[in-house]
A and B are shown apart, each in its own frame.
Chain A
């Protein structure tokens, strides 16, 4: 083409590539739609463009966070220091703000002020996040193109977390009660932290090209996020995701059972129905098939390293109570403790989790994970839980602190049940490294990698069949 190229198309294609790389299935048709959508709109507002892209290319809400961060990387809201100089009394007029104590104090004060406002001003906060990364998060490099920005450094220096107390005081002065104020304060600080991370990503993208950032810095969506790599806020989000996920899975299971539910012919109903069609049995009726339900025994490691994973799996499996015949759950670290009673029908998940956490002490004598001892104790005390119809589910990373593994005990446990599975939250490539007993245990029980919610729900789906 002879015409001058603006580079917009290239940028768009790179963006689509990045989306695909991040696991969004953007087809060619959707790509074309997005361009058609853009030509139908004005581009004056960045949010309009974002909405148009989102409508045409993101077809799952769980992928929206990934989309948003990639959009920010490829179509940044501002370049460099942005519109900071617009009549603001920022300390450095020439754009060269000093990283010194005075600047730090001034920024923290202004930040606190902005966050204390009854309705925080979002653009203002975003500007501050940009300033913060620019001043306190820069990592000067030896040459051009080697300098970089770090959200981590900026957050360490300014540490907005320390502002929480101050914020709580201010909010209470505005008439909120203490809980409310704490909640609001934490939410706003979290919001601001996310902004700072966005800004650092944006700056790095400017420096090194968006493709680089898209590869390394964009977090996966919540159902793809590994349990072991989850942050606190992620864990909360995941926990909220558990019940909807369980509900979806239950509907799906019910439907699939329904589709295959054709038992023996129900002669009487068929003949009765045939009267309507003049004695010709056009539709046949069948007796419902006896649903087959699994007896489940869950044995899970609740030591620090895998506690989150164990909690999630337990909650998830219990949310699906109705698709299993019966269920018993045991936790262990180096001792076994039954936790079935905590899961009352209709119980509140938050209480259940709190109870579980409180009961962890019962599962430990010395507090060092010891799979061998746990299996032996289980065999001694709870062997009655296992029967020929039972499915045994073991959850844990199989890291047993180099203790005696007692493989023969596990073999006898696995031998007394219908089937046994081991869910391991570690990436498969780490199995067998260090004190991991995967090679030994993996021979006895089928070991399955289960690192995120998607894998977990897939596994439970297959299990419930």
Chain B
């Protein structure tokens, strides 16, 4: 079963689930489904990278499995882990049984059998703790696998991802190779705080999400913030556009525009004039020097 029928289908279905796409996003998302390749999303913070994965999961009714990456993430937390406490308990319970376990070996009986039994019985599914990557691969139903902020991990984890992303399989030494019965829709996001390896990029489709143009941003605001006045949306988008043109440390992204719109509604501001901008600028700009720069450039000081 395919994920989407065409780029247009992507656009309409994501739109219905509350995510507005531009043509490039729709095309690339469609390709990710059609070619069954992971989709690597890059772009500034707050332009809806993570949201795209969630929207795909909402639109297709697939369950979202999320792996949040951070420094120090390892195999045990990304792939799978043996539940060693339970294994330990099992061994002890096994040993406590009379006529088997330790007693037999002390007696000097040549019986390797019990240990082999044990070996097989503690390395089974029952003792396996699956972590997001393995979970996504083993699921029978449709799954969207979101690997968030992949640039935060160490380089070694990328190596781990390679097997998962190219063949959709995981090798567990004790159990063998687990291959995906149904390939998940994989979305990786990155803030480009470091360059990802060529090997990883080669396996992915790449899409750079950027700030939207004024028209699309207005539509997004209307979608995300119900009850937003048409005029105020226009003023807001224009102001945010001007802020992005300034050289700021952190230019406001869509998430900040939405926050701002919500702030304005909460404060019941009907007109975004200079006073209103100056008062609520904290919702969009998060650096002191950015703030000063904006006040100077937009000439807010005079009023």
User: Is A219's CB within 8 Å of the partner chain B?
Assistant: no
A48 touches B289 (CB 8 A): no
Shortest distance from the beta carbon of B8 to any chain A beta carbon, whole Å:
10
- The contact string, 1 if C-beta is below 8 Å from chain A, for chain B 182-210, is 00000000001111001001111111100
A-B contact pairs, 14 of them (CB 8 A): A29-B203, A33-B37, A40-B30, A40-B34, A41-B30, A58-B206, A59-B40, A64-B208, A183-B245, A252-B194, A255-B71, A346-B288, A348-B247, A350-B293
User: Is A418's CB within 8 Å of the partner chain B?
Assistant: no
Q: How far is the CA of A27 from the CA of B193 in the complex (A)?
A: 24
Residues from chain B with Cβ under 8 Å of A244 in the complex = 192
Q: How far is the CA of A449 from the CA of B162 in the complex (A)?
A: 36
CB nearest to A176 among chain B residues: B238
Q: How far is the CA of A40 from the CA of B2 in the complex (A)?
A: 12
Residues from chain A with Cβ under 8 Å of B194 in the complex = 248, 251-252, 255
- A49-57, A381-389, A392-400 - interface stretch: A49-57
User: Contacts A47-B23, A52-B31, A59-B40 given; 4 further ones with Cβ under 8 A?
Assistant: A61-B42, A61-B208, A183-B242, A348-B247
**Known contacts A64-B208, A239-B247, A348-B293: A41-B201 contact under CB 8 Å:** no
The 8 Å CB contact of A347, one of B37, B42, B289, is B289
User: Is A36's CB within 8 Å of the partner chain B?
Assistant: yes
Q: State the A residues within 8 Å of B (CB).
A: 25, 27, 29-30, 33, 36-37, 40-42, 45, 47-48, 51-52, 54-56, 58-61, 64, 179-180, 183, 239-240, 243-244, 247-248, 251-252, 255, 258-259, 346-350
Q: How far is the CA of A248 from the CA of B247 in the complex (A)?
A: 18
Shortest distance from the beta carbon of B52 to any chain A beta carbon, whole Å:
13
Residues from chain B with Cβ under 8 Å of A36 in the complex = 35
**Known contacts A47-B23, A180-B242, A183-B245: A346-B289 contact under CB 8 Å:** yes
B206 touches A59 (CB 8 A): yes
CB nearest to B238 among chain A residues: A180
Shortest distance from the beta carbon of A414 to any chain B beta carbon, whole Å:
34
Q: How far is the CA of A48 from the CA of B247 in the complex (A)?
A: 32
Q: How far is the CA of A109 from the CA of B208 in the complex (A)?
A: 37
The 8 Å CB contact of A247, one of B23, B193, B205, is B193
A54 touches B24 (CB 8 A): yes
A251 touches B28 (CB 8 A): no
The 8 Å CB contact of B31, one of A40, A45, A58, A60, is A40
User: Is B130's CB within 8 Å of the partner chain A?
Assistant: no
A55 touches B205 (CB 8 A): yes
The 8 Å CB contact of A349, one of B24, B34, B193, B247, is B247
User: Is B6's CB within 8 Å of the partner chain A?
Assistant: yes
A348 touches B206 (CB 8 A): no
User: Is B154's CB within 8 Å of the partner chain A?
Assistant: yes
**Known contacts A30-B202, A243-B249: A55-B23 contact under CB 8 Å:** no
Q: State the B residues within 8 Å of A (CB).
A: 6-7, 23-24, 27-28, 30-31, 34-35, 37, 40, 42-43, 71, 154, 192-195, 198, 201-208, 242, 245, 247, 249, 287-289, 292-293, 297, 299
Residues from chain A with Cβ under 8 Å of B23 in the complex = 45, 47-48, 51
CB nearest to B166 among chain A residues: A29
B35 touches A37 (CB 8 A): yes
Residues from chain A with Cβ under 8 Å of B6 in the complex = 42
Residues from chain B with Cβ under 8 Å of A58 in the complex = 206
Q: How far is the CA of A244 from the CA of B204 in the complex (A)?
A: 24
B206 touches A55 (CB 8 A): yes
CB nearest to B203 among chain A residues: A29
The 8 Å CB contact of B28, one of A55, A59, A243, is A55
The 8 Å CB contact of B247, one of A25, A45, A240, A255, is A240
Q: How far is the CA of A251 from the CA of B194 in the complex (A)?
A: 7
B28 touches A51 (CB 8 A): yes
Residues from chain B with Cβ under 8 Å of A346 in the complex = 287-289
Residues from chain B with Cβ under 8 Å of A183 in the complex = 242, 245
CB nearest to B200 among chain A residues: A59
Q: How far is the CA of A422 from the CA of B156 in the complex (A)?
A: 36
Residues from chain B with Cβ under 8 Å of A64 in the complex = 208
**Known contacts A37-B31, A251-B193, A349-B247: A29-B24 contact under CB 8 Å:** no
The 8 Å CB contact of B292, one of A30, A56, A239, A348, is A348
Q: How far is the CA of A356 from the CA of B258 in the complex (A)?
A: 38
A59 touches B201 (CB 8 A): yes
**Known contacts A36-B35, A42-B6, A180-B242: A55-B27 contact under CB 8 Å:** yes
B193 touches A48 (CB 8 A): no
B24 touches A47 (CB 8 A): yes
A41 touches B31 (CB 8 A): yes
Residues from chain A with Cβ under 8 Å of B193 in the complex = 247-248, 251
CB nearest to B33 among chain A residues: A40
Shortest distance from the beta carbon of A187 to any chain B beta carbon, whole Å:
8
Residues from chain B with Cβ under 8 Å of A248 in the complex = 192-195
Q: How far is the CA of A243 from the CA of B249 in the complex (A)?
A: 8
A25 touches B293 (CB 8 A): no
Residues from chain A with Cβ under 8 Å of B299 in the complex = 179
CB nearest to B292 among chain A residues: A348
Q: How far is the CA of A239 from the CA of B246 in the complex (A)?
A: 12
Residues from chain A with Cβ under 8 Å of B297 in the complex = 179
Shortest distance from the beta carbon of B25 to any chain A beta carbon, whole Å:
8
Residues from chain A with Cβ under 8 Å of B287 in the complex = 346
Q: How far is the CA of A248 from the CA of B195 in the complex (A)?
A: 9
**Known contacts A29-B202, A180-B242, A348-B293: A40-B247 contact under CB 8 Å:** no
CB nearest to B206 among chain A residues: A59
Q: How far is the CA of A55 from the CA of B249 in the complex (A)?
A: 28
A48 touches B27 (CB 8 A): yes
Q: How far is the CA of A301 from the CA of B287 in the complex (A)?
A: 32
A55 touches B289 (CB 8 A): no
CB nearest to B214 among chain A residues: A119
CB nearest to B40 among chain A residues: A59
B27 touches A41 (CB 8 A): yes
Residues from chain B with Cβ under 8 Å of A61 in the complex = 42-43, 192, 208
A51 touches B35 (CB 8 A): no
Shortest distance from the beta carbon of B37 to any chain A beta carbon, whole Å:
7
Which A-B residue pairs are the 6 nearest by beta carbons?
A51-B27, A59-B201, A40-B34, A51-B24, A55-B28, A55-B205
Residues from chain B with Cβ under 8 Å of A60 in the complex = 195
Residues from chain B with Cβ under 8 Å of A40 in the complex = 30-31, 34-35
